[in-house]
Every structure is written in structure tokens, then in C-alpha cells.
């Protein structure tokens, strides 16, 4: 299975945020949309970073609630690890494990084309394991 297969099921919408917004704005969007990370886009629509709930928690823990007035740009990770639609799910799982993050934006010709989260990957793996089990059961029953 490829990243394309995951996006075909979950859709290609990505919630983004401008680097000039505040962490308080970002926290509100994350909370309202039930998300764990926002892709930071500059103009014109170029991925320039990623801001996760962990970045907000880390900044508030370090500098107190005043950190919520800081900009997204000051707190995002600028060196974003991305993938492409033709990549395998195994490759994305390895990226998440190696980098210790739970979100990987998908680019198509340099443009944002979707996002894969650890939840999407786990859902896919569970479905895959279930169909493997079913195939084994059928094999045993007909052997």
C-alpha cells in the first residue's frame, strides 16, 4: 500500500496556518479541528514548517502562558520531513519512527497534496493485519 491509497480513503484536505499567526491562534485551530499538527505555509502556498501540539506545550512549559503570544514561525520546525504519494506506508512508518514525530505532509510537485498521521498508518496496518488473518483462515479451511 502506498501513501496514495491512504489519501484516497481519508481525503487530501490539510489544515494550514500562516507563520505570522500566534501560538494562541494555532492552539484554537488545533482544538476546534481535533488535530495534532498544522502545516505552516508561506506565500505562495509553500510549505515552510510544521507546528505540532508538542511545540506549543514545550514553549508554554519553558516560558509560561506568555509564549502563547509568540508567532508560529518562532516555534515551528522549519526542517520538515515530507513524503510523496508513491511512497510506501512502510517508508512513512520508518520516517515517523526515526524522526520521533507523528505527522508527515505529502507533496506533489512541491505543492502540499495531503498529510499522513500516525493514526492513519495504524488504521491501515490494522486493516492489513485483519485481511492477512482472514486469508490464513481461508487457506487453513480449504487446505
| Interface ranges with ligand AMP (CB under 6 A) | 36-37, 50, 52-55, 77, 80-81, 99, 101-104
Q: How far is CA 119 from CA 6, 28, 72, 115, 140, in A?
A: 11, 21, 24, 11, 32
Which is nearest to 65 in space by CA: 35, 29, 22, 30? 22
Q: What angle do CA 38, 49, 28 make, to 5 degrees?
A: 30
* Closer Cβ to ligand AMP, 76 or 124, answer by number: 76
Q: Cβ 70 to ligand AMP, closest distance in Å?
A: 14
CB of 96 to ligand AMP, least distance (A): 8
Instruction: Report the nearest approach of ligand AMP to the CB of residue 77 (Å).
Output: 3
Name the minimum Å distance from CB 28 to ligand AMP.
17
Q: Which is nearer to ligand AMP, 59 or 134 (CB)?
A: 59
**Largest interatomic CA distance in the chain:** 67
Kindly tell me which of 4 and 102 has the beta carbon lying closer to ligand AMP. Answer: 102
Q: Which of residues 8 and 57 has its CB atom nearest to ligand AMP in the complex?
A: 57
Indicate the residue whose CB is closest to ligand AMP.
52
- Three-state SS string across 83-118, please? ECCCCEHHHHHHHHHHHCCCEEEEEECCEEEEEEEH
Amino acid at each position: 500500500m502506498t501513501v496514495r491509497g491512504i489519501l484516497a480513503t481519508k481525503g487530501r484536505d490539510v489544515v494550514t496556518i500562516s507563520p505570522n499567526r500566534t501560538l494562541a491562534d494555532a492552539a484554537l485551530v488545533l482544538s476546534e479541528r481535533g488535530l495534532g499538527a498544522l502545516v505552516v505555509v508561506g506565500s505562495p502556498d509553500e510549505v515552510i514548517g510544521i507546528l505540532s501540539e508538542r511545540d506549543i506545550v514545550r514553549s508554554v512549559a519553558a516560558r509560561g502562558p506568555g509564549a502563547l503570544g509568540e508567532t508560529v514561525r518562532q516555534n515551528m520546525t522549519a526542517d520538515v520531513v515530507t513524503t510523496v504519494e508513491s511512497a510506501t506506508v512502510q517508508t512513512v512508518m520508518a520516517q515517523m519512527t526515526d524522526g520521533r514525530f507523528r505527522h508527515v505532509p505529502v507533496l506533489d510537485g512541491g505543492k502540499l497534496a495531503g498529510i499522513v498521521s500516525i493514526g492513519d498508518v495504524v488504521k491501515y496496518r490494522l486493516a492489513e493485519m485483519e485481511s492477512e488473518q482472514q486469508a490464513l483462515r481461508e487457506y487453513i479451511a480449504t487446505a
